[in-house]
Structures are given as structure tokens and as C-alpha cells.
Amino acid sequence: MALDPYIVLGVPRSATEAEIKKAYRAKAKALHPDQHKDDPKKAEEFKRVSAAYDILGDPEKKAKFDRGEIDGEGNPTGFGGGGPGGAGYRWQSTSGQSPFEGAQGDPFEDILSGMFGGGRARRGPGPQKGRDVRYRVTIEFEDAVLGARRRMTMADGSALDVNIPAGIDTGQTLRLKSQGQQSPYGGPPGDALLEVEVKPSKLWERDGKDLRMKLPISLQVAVLGGSVDVRTPSGNVALKVPAGSNTGAQLRLRGKGVQGSAPGDLYVRLEILLDDPKDEGLRKWAEKS
């Protein structure tokens, strides 16, 4: 069953608009997620308090709740008159009061005015959007290069499925629609804003859409040429090293950089690495040179 918003906020049914607002602000401040980042129970209490104020802070919704037309979550209960073909319902108050006690205005005013084209004007501006929530998240280098879908656990303990676009970089922000705080005024939820930090890679270095890396090769491959395996973010590929290559030579792997509509390239800088610097034959060759 839906909770009674009067009980949630701890106010009597005779509470004024100012008293309801004061009670809500006190509870919301005490339960705010920023004050209890690792306490899911407090987060749930905060949601209940916000939902209660969504009902009692709106004169129209409050009147409907007091008349028994909606429950504590704002869902219609059906009007208690037992219309044509309907069984109707019996309104029961947890406090023992009449369903019309504390209601603002004549309980039949809304029905009659609606039938004859009238209606009570809603006070104030339209429903306000809920508050945006900011998080800092760290993602893998490969996910930033290739793009990915990951489930991330936020600071408040909630888990969000996040689409990481290829090419995102440290300092950029991902916006997740309607994943922020609920609006206490009946408006849409806020958004979750994820400020991204990309983990550095020990192998690759990013240069815009391109990637750069160093690749050690043997003296034999450098002199005679050959094929060597190169690790890329999407997997290993074979790279053909031309004969007579030297340290500092740069080879390009097309389309193996940052992915997207126009993928970048991966630039491989060759570095000659002797298999055994103390090899006797190599020493003799060097002495003859």
C-alpha cells in the first residue's frame, strides 16, 4: 500500500502550507544523498519524503488526496461515489478523521467546475525538473578508444548502464537523461552527469584521433625485414617491417586508432633491440666493421 504522505512528513492533516514546506525542508536536508553517499536506506527515505511533498506541496494534489481520489503515490483510486456499473470504494483514514477534513475548498468544486468548463487555476509555474546529480567516473583507455557499454556503480550505490562513445576524453561529461534526483514538484527527474577520466595506457599514447606506440624489433628483422605482431586496442595484427629499417622509423596501421565515423590511425615507432648484446658473433662482426 502507498504510504500516507502526512505520516512520512510527520505533520497533522490540519498542517498549513508553510508547516508542510518547513517539515519537508528539514527532512530533505537531513536525508540528502550528498550527506549520506554510501547509505542506500537514507536515499530511499529521501525519495519517500520527496514523493510525499510532491503530493502535499501541490494544493490540487493535496485536495485530491484528502478526498481520497489519489493515493500517497499520486495514483488514481477511483472516486468514491460508485459510478454507473462501478462498486465504488470506501475511503478510510489512518488518523480517524473524515476524508474531507483539511481539504481546501468544497470537495465537489473540481467536479462541478470541470463539467461546466471551469476549473481552478494551478498555482505557480509548471512542474520543476529534479536536481541533476554529478559523478566522477574512471574508464579504461580501450573503452575510450573503441566505445563500450558498461555498468557503473555510482557513489550512492546505484548502478547505471552507460554507453561510452568512442573518442571520449578526460574532462568530458556524459549526460544520462532522467537518472538524477526525482522532482519534489511533480516534474521530470533530473539527469546524471558523469565527468570522465580516462586511465592512461602503458602501451599507447593518444594524439587526437591517432594513437602512437613504440615497438621493439630484433636486429635481424631490422636488417632483413619481416612480419611482427602488433597489439592494437581491438586485437593483435601483423605488421610488415621493410628490410633495412632503423630505430625511429615510423609505420602506420590505418584505421587502428580512435574509432568513430572517421577512425584514426595507429603509428608504430620502431626501436631495434638486441637479442643478446654479449653475443660473440655480433661482437666480432662489430669489430670488423
3-state secondary structure 71-115: CCCCCECCCCCCCCCCCCCCCCCCCCCCCCCCCCCCCCHHHHHHH
Least confident span in 1-10, 56-65, 261-270: 1-10
CATH level 3 topology of 205-272: HSP40/DNAj peptide-binding domain (2.60.260)
The string of pLDDT tens digits covering residues 80-114 is 433 322 333 332 333 333 332 333 333 333 333 33
Whether the domain at 5-115 and the domain at 205-272 fall into the same CATH topology: no
Confidence band, pLDDT 50/70/90 cuts, at residue 203: very high
Q: Nearest to residue 80, comparing CAs of 99, 61, 62, 53?
A: 99
Confidence band, pLDDT 50/70/90 cuts, at residue 232: very high
Q: Where are the domains of the chain?
A: 5-115, 133-198, 205-272
The string of pLDDT tens digits covering residues 32-65 is 877 777 788 888 888 888 888 888 988 888 998 8
All 3 cell numbers of residue 3? 504510504
Least confident span in 22-36, 106-120, 237-251, 262-276: 106-120
133-198: in CATH 2.60.260.20: yes
For the domain 5-115, what is the CATH superfamily, name and number?
Answer: DnaJ domain (1.10.287.110)
Per the prediction, the chain carries an average pLDDT of 79
The string of pLDDT tens digits covering residues 131-144 is 888 888 899 999 99
